[in-house]
Amino acid sequence: MCVGIDPHAGLLSGWGLDDSAAGAERMGRDVVAASAGVAAAIKPQISFFERFGSAGFVALERVLADAREAGVIVVGDVKRGDIGSTFAAYAEAWLAPGSPLEVDAMTVAPYMGFDTLSGAFPFVREHGKGLFVLAATSNPEARMMQTAVRPDGQTLAASVVESANAWNASEHAADTVGSVGVVLGATLTLSDFGIDTAVRVTPALPVLAPGFGHQGAKVEDAAEIFGGIGYAVLANESRSILDGGGVGLAGRVRERAALITEALDDR
């Protein structure tokens, strides 16, 4: 399980916290403490820290420092995408060892071309970092673009999945898990996006899957949802865990992590 950290105003209020950098920091650090040794990862949504300017980045750095100290894997939900040296600079900011913003993996947008992500590949190869590439996302606005059909008959979403699989196959042994994954909404019917789930892919494709819990997807249905591309699913839950406030947080994390682990281990 991946626990999302989304310190927006409504959630902060429910926690009895100010809508401020200090409030976001408190929520983030509490989630790290509750997740350590229980959840596989955390996923801070960077925009909710960015909105507080430099104070927000200081707060985020403290959350990330706690996670590193606790040994919690961090997926930075940054959704960066650009060309050439510009994207390489984003990758350096988020993936370079020793950076105050260092995370273990980052979400990226491929819509300027999958090969523009190459600026991150040195960090993936040399430092064990990972990427999660937006492929089929659960927001309804994305459907028109992500189901667009290329001249070769493949949808844009399917081409992103294929490119991630191809990169992993060129870099990893078949019996391993790749370093480049995709974001696939768990509330979607992936065949509607032209994504073939019938055949098991190797190396295993990491799938960051938002949509479980509050958004309605059931982790027990993961095998049906993801099929042959679902052997390295990182099920993300945010609202279902954060909604209850700080009281009882650790218990909610343990409960959801146990349920998700059991469901995915049955695959």
Annotated catalytic sites, by residue? 79
219: burial class by Cβ within 10 Å (0-12, 13-18, 19+)?
buried
68: left (phi over 0), alpha (psi -120 to 50) or beta: alpha
Q: What is the distance between the alpha carbons of residues 39 and 122, in angstroms, rounded to a whole number?
A: 28
DSSP 212: B
| Structural tokens at position 155 | 């949808």
Which helix (H) or strand (E) element contains residue 237?
strand 233-237
C-alpha distances in angstroms, 24 versus 4, 19, 48, 165?
Answer: 13, 7, 8, 36
Which helix (H) or strand (E) element contains residue 133?
strand 130-136
CB 39 within 8 A of CB 80: no
Q: What angle do CA 168, 174, 177 make, to 5 degrees?
A: 55
